[in-house]
Amino acid sequence: MTLELELARVLAREVSYRSRRSFGKRGVFGFMLGEYKPSAVRANLVGASVFTLISLLISAVLLIAPPSAAELLFSGIYSGLMIMGLFIVLLTSIGFTSVYVGERLVDLLVMFPLDERTIAEAYLLSLFLYWGGASVLFIYIPPLIAAAFKAVDPVLLIAALLASIILIVFGYALGLGLGTYAQLVRKRSILRGLATLAWLIVFVAFYSAGQLISYVSEVMSLAELSVAAYIPFIGMLFIKNNPQGAFFSAVLSVALLGISYRFAVSRLGVLTGRVQAGLLKVRAPILAKPRGIKERYAEISVESSIKGFISKDIKLLLREPRRLASILYFVVFPFIAFLPELTTRNPSLTSGIWLAIFLGVCGLAGGIIGLTSETLYYIEGEGAKVLYYLPITRRKLALAKAGSIFPIATIAAFTLAILVSVALGDVYLGLSIFILIVSSAFSTALICSSLTVKYLPEVPSAWTEATISRAFQLVVKLAVILALIAMAFILPVGILLIYGSKYLRIVPLLESAILIPAGLVIFAVAAESKPL
Amino acid sequence: MTIGVVKPDKGKVFVNNIDVAENPLEARKIVGFMPEEIVIYESLKIEEYLSFILSIYGIKVSEDKVNSIIRLLGLSEHLDKFIGDLSYGTKRKVLLASLMLREPKALVLDEVFTGLDPVAAKIVKTWIREAADAGVPVLISTHVLPIAEAIADRVLIINRGEIVAEGKPGELKEIFGAKELEEVFLKVTGYSPEYEDVIRALYR
């Protein structure tokens, strides 16, 4: 086991280094850990603490609940935590495996006389011990303790424990299998689309779970919730209310576990470097070009340098599903936040405090879309060194990166504007939101991008993804977000209180009039006209 | 240094009368630089990369010219692949294609023949010769001395940051009484026969 542990440490360190180059951060809480040092305690400590804290806060409700409601409440809380745990497991395992496969780390291992079992064990130990995979277990401890304290039926506790164990193993097996497709995803546009959608679902579920759960609970009655007993994994928690359904759920869960296990085993060869040996045979000299090689006429499109940059950035972004999804999350954020109001065509959204809040959320979402311009520096990857050989200034680079956010923000703003115009029958409000999102996004993109280029290294050899300081980015983002929150919410609420509801319609124009000059000033000061 | 990424410790670098330290952007516009390390966007396809580079330089070229260079370097069959999926040598050919299409007024090529197959190497030699004959200054750095001997008009041998020999290949061979440039190099850089004893001892 010593060899496997040593290999696991090396693998974790290598994945950490490569993922910093490719993703800019490591794992779910990697940004909090700084430079990676392989230690099982260190790797799991932050995750375990955060998960325990979140779980503790949620589970605390159980302690104050009346005994009669404790079991149903426990089932509900534990279901939510199980779903959250599944997404964490998927994030961790897919992220780790995709870097491991994408960076061909197995090539480093197969050079040594190591058998497949040793490599597989090293991989799993690396994922669980040194990548923080074990920390997810801590999410389940507080509700179980709280339930035991409230004397919840032990049958339910055992069912919950079993369900969570099955779900975790299922999640890791699924994540392992899916992560091995990392290289294939880059090559096939359909898989890229699916991967982007999957990541978007993960982000929405992870960050907007509260909104979605409250929305579902609003549209579903308690009676309908008994159907939940038939849902795999979480259905087992409803064993007291619907034993038949819970049994069905258990059977389905075990079947899904079996499928995911088979899937993971079938993909294990990718992780261990198992390859089928080809036959080597001597061939006659080839004088003619081999058949079957497709050649075609190349098409080149030369645009202005800024357009060329934007076109390149968009292409790079479209080929990175995880990063694209992280931007798209903020695009769909306003839709999720106001899903009930928009789907029920709630007219209160067009006036008063709701309108003020709606405008605030849209302004904030636009601003955050702009802040994701940082992602456009990360997608450069190792290719960023190209920038140092080109005749471009830091100023032009900052403008190009901010410009790349423009089409994304425009699509988001346009879609929301159309939705608002149709759902609420208020075209003027739709137009206002369009202006608000686009101007906020472009301004914050310009601010973030101008400050980023200022601190890019002087020489290409100094470039790694880690060069863009996470701490610096965090400070910039926090400062901009705080300013945005202050403006996006205080301005409309202030206008509402002082001048009344009808003047709220000028908020987008006012915000644009503040944000755009602010962005331009920072651009003029920070983005210098010197080359990289 | 020829494109202003690295600043000289002392002295000045001029390319086509442009002071590089003073005006790196102008230098980058005219110099075609090929680094030894492959510096390229691996998630782009060949056409996309070439479109990007030509857009940045604002160079319009006919599609016939693009295709003739792509065919010349054997890149036609790789057009639908991502650059990251290409072999080392093919990636270098993509970099070469971007330089050839730009027709730079000066060339700085670092280990330009590394990873190239004999056909591509021959094409590059011809390209360099043609460029030099057309008056384009070409600076090549290489550790492969037969290549330097075959194509260079002037050779500078640098050892530990110092120029230790300079001249035409023929002149250098004559001065050092050597048959090949490699022999000149070994003489001026202090090659010791004892190194060979270390190697011979490995399998004994």
Q: How many domains does chain B have?
A: 2
Minimal CA separation from A186 to chain B, in Å: 8
Minimal CA separation from A293 to chain B, in Å: 6
Per-residue model confidence (pLDDT) at position A311: 93
Mean pLDDT across A526-530: 87
Q: Residues B78, A298: contact at Cβ < 8 Å?
A: no
Which among B121, B141, B161 is the end of a domain? B141
Which among B141, B161, B177 is the end of a domain? B141
Tokens 């030369």 correspond to A302
Q: What is d(CA B173, CA B66) in angstroms, rounded to the nearest whole number?
A: 41
**Considering chain B, what is the average pLDDT of its residues?**
91
Both tokens of residue A439? 């101007």
Per-residue model confidence (pLDDT) at position A103: 80
Residues of A (315-334) whose Cβ lies below 8 Å from B: 315-316, 319-320
Q: Tell me, what CATH number does B96's domain have? A: 3.40.50.300
Question: Which is it for the CA torsion A213, A219, A221, A226, positive or negative?
Answer: negative
Close Cβ partners of A437 (under 8 Å, ≥ 6 residues apart): A334, A362, A363, A365, A366, A369, A409, A412, A413, A416
The DSSP symbol for B33 reads E
* Beta-carbon count within 10 A of A251 CB: 11
Rounded to 5 degrees, φ, ψ at B171 are -60, -45
Is there a domain that residue B1 lies in? Answer: no
Instruction: Kindly tell me if the per-residue pLDDT of B136 is higher than 60.
Output: yes
Cβ within 8 Å, pair A531-B28: yes
Is there a domain that residue B11 lies in? Answer: no
Instruction: Kindly tell me if the per-residue pLDDT of A36 is higher than 70.
Output: no
Is there a domain that residue B26 lies in? Answer: no
Is there a domain that residue B4 lies in? Answer: no
Measured between CB atoms, which of A295, A302, A531 is closest to B55? A302
Q: How confident is the model at residue B116 (pLDDT cuts 50, 70, 90)?
A: very high
Per-residue model confidence (pLDDT) at position A245: 87
Residues B118 and B78 in one domain: yes
Residues B109 and B164 in one domain: no
- Radius of gyration of chain B from its Cα atoms, rounded to whole angstroms: 19
% chain B with pLDDT above 70: 100
**Considering chain A, what is the average pLDDT of its residues?**
82
Which residues in B lie closer than 8 A to residue A311 (C-beta atoms)?
51-52, 55
Residues of B (83-102) whose Cβ lies below 8 Å from A: 84-85
Measured between CB atoms, which of B28, B44, B63 is closest to A300? B63
Q: Which of A213-227, A414-428, B111-125 is modeled with the greatest confidence?
A: B111-125
Residues B128 and B163 in one domain: no
Of A412-416, A464-468, A480-484, B70-74, minimum mean pLDDT range? A464-468
Residues B54 and B128 in one domain: yes
**pLDDT, tens digit, 9 for 90 and up, residues A356-404:** 888 888 888 889 899 888 888 888 888 888 988 999 999 999 999 999 9
Residues B136 and B44 in one domain: yes
**pLDDT, tens digit, 9 for 90 and up, residues A319-360:** 888 888 888 888 888 777 777 777 766 667 667 788 888 888
Residues B178 and B201 in one domain: yes
Is there a domain that residue B71 lies in? Answer: yes
Residues B203 and B110 in one domain: no
| Helical axes A491-499 vs A352-371, angle rounded to 10° | 160
How far does chain B reach from its first CA to its final CA, in angstroms?
Answer: 46
Cβ within 8 Å, pair B51-A311: yes
Q: Residues A310, A391: contact at Cβ < 8 Å?
A: no
Range of the domain at B177: 145-204
**pLDDT, tens digit, 9 for 90 and up, residues A87-125:** 889 888 988 888 888 788 888 888 888 888 888 888 999
Q: How confident is the model at residue A17 (pLDDT cuts 50, 70, 90)?
A: confident
Residues B164 and B85 in one domain: no
Residues B51 and B95 in one domain: yes
Q: How confident is the model at residue A275 (pLDDT cuts 50, 70, 90)?
A: very low
Please classify residue A176 by burial: count the beta carbons closer than 10 Å to its beta carbon, then call 0-12 exposed, 13-18 middle and 19+ buried: buried
Which among B90, B118, B141 is the end of a domain? B141
Cβ within 8 Å, pair B5-A296: no
* Structural domain boundaries in chain A: 2-272, 305-526
Which residues in A lie closer than 8 A to residue B105 (C-beta atoms)?
none
Q: Residues A267, A259: contact at Cβ < 8 Å?
A: no
Q: How confident is the model at residue A33 (pLDDT cuts 50, 70, 90)?
A: very low
**pLDDT, tens digit, 9 for 90 and up, residues A202-237:** 788 777 666 666 666 665 555 566 677 888 998 898
Minimal CA separation from B102 to chain A, in Å: 12
Q: What is d(CA A301, CA B60) in angstroms, rounded to the nearest whole number?
A: 9
Measured between CB atoms, which of B24, B41, B58 is closest to A316? B41
pTM for the model: 0.79
